[in-house]
Amino acid sequence: MKTYTCDFLIVGGGVAGLMAAIPAAKSGAKVIIAEKADTRRSGSGANGNDHYHCYIPQCHGADPARARREIGSSFDAGPWTDPKLTDVWIMRSYEIVQMWESIGIDMRPTGEYHFEGHGIPGCQLYNLKFDGKNQKPALTAEALKQGAQILNHIVISEILTNEEGRVVGAIGADVHAEEPEAVLFQSKAVLLATGMVSRMYPSITPAYMFNTPCCPATTGSGQAMAYRAGARLVNMDMLKGHAGPKYFARGGKGTWIGITTDIHGKPFTPYGDKPSRATGDVTADVWPSCYYDRMKAGQGPTYMNCTETPPEDLDYMLHEAMVSEGIDSITDYTEQRNIDLSKEMIEFGTYPIMMSQRGIDCDEHSHTSIPGLYAAGNCMGNVGGSLAGAAAFGLVAGEDAAEYIKTVSQEDVSNHPKLKETLDLYQMLMERRNQPHAHWKEALSTLQNLMNEYGGVELQNEDTLKAGYTYVQQLKADSLNALGCENSHELMRTLELLDMIDLAEPIFLCRRNRKESRGPHIRSDYSFTNILLNNKFQTIEKDKDGTVHMDYRLRQ
């Protein structure tokens, strides 16, 4: 087993994790990023992003009031976020845009700050159109330059807290070589920046589990580790969807320049009837279930229709915008198959649920309910903003942690009880390779079926939710009894699976406890919306004895 000691351990080197490393390392703290892939190309921003949701005073006006109001009420913030936190990413966005520019990310490919896409016709545009194709290598280089240490191919599976309940380290496995090696971290503060939960529900092609719009390597480990350690989660009952090309799941719907139409090419939404490079078509943003809803209602398939997009805009979309966004596999695919978007429409579909921006409850300093434990990015449960939210709260977490670590001392974790428990788990999973054993895919298939049928967006009631919860507990017990791994790759996939199984618990429990229908949570036994719960979020946490507590707190 390898052991590392540091001031600030960052779990996950996506956008949020790298952004946290920069100010913390700059302040002189000893920072380690543990990333299960390679920070240069990992996570949902791996190959790029092209929209940075921000407020730039010289573009939007010196008074931020309008931007705060419009962004705060938009789909980018969303209803399941705390306005206090939304304000943080809005107000720090310009500073980050300038910082990204200074490290070589092209924030104004046209020479000017230019806003485009995800636009609501008639509203100011806030999505800065940038070229993020090198964002991960650039952020990685900056984190290293500031003195952070990056350990790639390390998957973290447990965080450690001490008697007082503050965080003191983490445990993981080095999965670089064929044989995994346990790794112990002793750290004064820990940031969870592990992204969303991509694979808990079936993909749009259930036989192909990695056909997901966002990075399939983000599997809710941060939320699961936080929950096991007793941190408060929030909004786990509010399932979230996404939409895009069917059956080739891909994020980045805002990069398309076309309109949403039926099979006859006829638009049916109020968001414009001609393709607009300026606004794009927000249908997939504001009504991502429309593709599914229309099929279910017998209204036929729904398309992204670029046949009236001017040729120069189509060329720009395919060969510039999609490259910046890291979705030029769409370009490559259409070219390989001779699909001419000036003549043919692409059918869009509603993708199954992914849990993004549902999870760890944080304050405006990115602090969780556990002292010394921070969370940032898609694994937070109460902030939106996608990339901009991840970048801002990464920065905030790094700044706050740099101060926090001055107030606490290192604690020896070499005999921590969780250490033995975790090592025993790894050993048990690896030793089973010598005997007939179950494979992670078998259990994930069952988990996905259960989440879809018993915990999905269809009409549910107490009986279904209770049964689903029971079956997940059975699946967990059987999985622990039977799963085995051939090598470190399989150990990583198995640990991901176990995290997703653990996350089913807060989803089922919160949905059972929400005795009403609201948003994506629809119950036949409580079909009304209870106004007493307006403006409130449901939270869930476990105490030291493992007893679960659920509560409603005010939206802040």
Partner 1 sequence: MPPIIHEEKCVKCGYCAQICPLDVLYLDKQEPNPRLRVRYPDECWHCRACEKDCPQGAITMRYPLSHFMLHYTPEKGGENQ
Ligand X SMILES: Cc1cc2nc3c(=O)[nH]c(=O)nc-3n(C[C@H](O)[C@H](O)[C@H](O)COP(=O)(O)OP(=O)(O)OC[C@H]3O[C@@H](n4cnc5c(N)ncnc54)[C@H](O)[C@@H]3O)c2cc1C
Q: What backbone phi and psi angles, to 5 degrees, belong to 219?
A: -130, 30
- What is the DSSP code string of 299-342? ----EEE-TTS-HHHHHHIIIIIHHHTT-THHHHHHHHTT--TT
Closest to ligand X by CB, 151 vs 465, is 151
The region of 234-242, 249-257, 367-375, 424-432 touching ligand X under the rule CB under 6 A is 249-257
CB 529 within 8 A of CB 517: yes
Of 36, 232, 246, 514, the one binding ligand X by CB under 6 A: 36
- Partner from partner 1, ligand X, none binding residue 261, C-beta < 5-8 Å depending on class: partner 1
Report the nearest approach of partner 1 to the CB of residue 211 (Å): 6
Does 280 contact ligand X by CB under 6 A?
no
Buried b (16+ CB within 10 A) or exposed e, 352-390: bbbbbbbbbbbbbbbbbbbbbbbbbbbbbbbbbbbbbbb
- Partner from partner 1, ligand X, none binding residue 7, C-beta < 5-8 Å depending on class: none
d(CA 8, CA 398): 9
d(CA 196, CA 210): 14
d(CA 14, CA 39): 6
Of 90, 155, 184, 190, the one binding ligand X by CB under 6 A: 155
- Partner from partner 1, ligand X, none binding residue 334, C-beta < 5-8 Å depending on class: partner 1
Of 49, 186, 309, 448, the one binding ligand X by CB under 6 A: 49
Closest to ligand X by CB, 146 vs 386, is 386
d(CA 89, CA 87): 6
Does 156 contact ligand X by CB under 6 A?
yes
Does 37 contact ligand X by CB under 6 A?
yes
H or E element, residue 158: strand 154-161
Q: Is the dihedral of CA 259, 265, 268, 274 positive or negative?
A: positive
Closest to partner 1 by CB, 152 vs 452, is 152
Does 159 contact ligand X by CB under 6 A?
no
Of 43, 245, 359, 455, the one binding ligand X by CB under 6 A: 43
Location of structure tokens 């050993």: 427
Report the nearest approach of partner 1 to the CB of residue 151 (Å): 13
Residue facing ligand X at closest CB distance:
14
All residues at 6 or more sequence positions from 507 whose CB lies less than 8 Å from its CB, including other chains: 236, 237, 239, 355, 451, 455
Closest to partner 1 by CB, 211 vs 513, is 211
Binding residues for ligand X, total number by CB under 6 A? 41
d(CA 548, CA 236): 14
8-state DSSP, 396: H
H or E element, residue 454: helix 440-454
Report the nearest approach of partner 1 to the CB of residue 502 (Å): 22
Report the nearest approach of ligand X to the CB of residue 392 (Å): 11
Whether the link from the prior residue into 4 is cis, omega within 30° of 0, is no
Report the nearest approach of ligand X to the CB of residue 355 (Å): 12
Decide the pairing of beta strands 31-35 and 2-11.
parallel
Q: With the CA atoms of 166, 198, 513 and 452 taken in that order, what torsion angle do they form, in degrees rounded to the nearest 10? A: -150
Of 6, 15, 204, 500, the one binding ligand X by CB under 6 A: 15
Does 398 contact ligand X by CB under 6 A?
no
Closest to partner 1 by CB, 347 vs 462, is 347
Report the nearest approach of ligand X to the CB of residue 86 (Å): 14
All residues at 6 or more sequence positions from 64 whose CB lies less than 8 Å from its CB, including other chains: 55, 57, 90, 91
- Partner from partner 1, ligand X, none binding residue 30, C-beta < 5-8 Å depending on class: none
Six token digits for residue 345: 């429409």
Report the nearest approach of partner 1 to the CB of residue 135 (Å): 13
- Partner from partner 1, ligand X, none binding residue 97, C-beta < 5-8 Å depending on class: none
Of 93, 386, 452, 494, the one binding ligand X by CB under 6 A: 386
d(CA 355, CA 202): 12
Does 326 contact ligand X by CB under 6 A?
yes
Task: Note the helical H segments in 151-248.
Answer: 221-229
Closest to partner 1 by CB, 211 vs 449, is 211
Cα Rg, the chain, nearest whole Å: 23
8-state DSSP, 276: -
Report the nearest approach of partner 1 to the CB of residue 102 (Å): 24
Report the nearest approach of partner 1 to the CB of residue 207 (Å): 7
Residues near partner 1, by CB under 8 A: 37-38, 40-43, 46-47, 152-153, 175, 205, 207-212, 215-217, 245-249, 261-266, 301, 303, 305, 307, 326, 328-330, 332-334, 336-337, 339, 343-347, 489, 492
The region of 35-43, 160-168, 276-284, 306-314 touching ligand X under the rule CB under 6 A is 35-43
Each residue 187-206 as x (binds ligand X by CB under 6 A) or -, in order, gives ------xxx-----------
The binding site for ligand X (CB under 6 A) comprises: 11-17, 34-37, 42-45, 49-51, 53, 155-156, 193-195, 214-215, 217-218, 221, 250-252, 325-327, 377-378, 386-388, 390
